[in-house]
Amino acid sequence: MNKNKLLSAQETIPDRTMSIEVAKTHVVNGNKMMEPFPDGLDIAMFGLGCFWGAEKRFWSVPGVYSTQVGYAGGVTKHPTYQDVCAGLTNHAEVVRIIYDPKQVDYKTLLQIFWESHDPTQGMRQGNDSGTQYRSIILVYSNEQRHAAYESLQHFQQHLSDAGYGQITTTIEDAPPFYYAEDYHQQYLAKNPGGYCGLGGTGVTCGD
């Protein structure tokens, strides 16, 4: 099976019946990991390669209340890490970000997203290969969708000027988010010397 190609819905594995349980509080900041979150917060969701490093990019950003890693954008409900790694669910590894829009805006989160990985690599990120590592923005509103497309066009120009190819990032409506196993949550805080395959292009989103 080619793990660099999305499957038809009929080819994906059946839904799992059990949801994955995670700790109630964030290892880094002690805030809530599950709904309901405090009033006034917004949600963003991105896939940019291995979710260990992706989550670390966001948890210390001022205004970010909580981060969680999981699976989204595919077909199978309540998948396991093994399911996703086998390329049988169409899910991407994602980080969900709960943030205070009064302290950090969505455009700033998009900038961190673009600058933290190479969005021109298709179904991989560095040495990590497979559909789970694809670049994806999952939007929760028309405002997020507009900002995402605008930032894609802006960053594409910067990448093209630097000699990179076309961005392969997809922008999709946010689907259900399925938590990854608890040991994946804040993995690089629990394992400071752990693997992180993320690497940006060195191109910034500056004007």
Residue 128 β-bridge partners = 125
In the residue annotation, 205 being an active-site residue is answered as: no
Determine the Cα–Cα distance for residues 157 and 162; give it in Å rounded to an integer: 9
- The secondary structure of 144-202 as a DSSP string is HHHHHHHHHHHHHHHHHHTT------EEEE----EEPPGGGTTHHHHSTT--------S
Beta strands in 27-86 (DSSP E): 42-48, 64-72
Question: CA-based angle 81:33:9, to the nearest 5?
Answer: 35
Residue whose structure tokens are 């000699």: 163
Helices and strands of the chain, counted as H and E runs: 5, 8
Helix (H) or strand (E) holding 139: strand 135-139
Q: Which of 50, 85, 196, 205 is catalytic?
A: 50
Task: Provide the annotated active-site residues.
Answer: 50
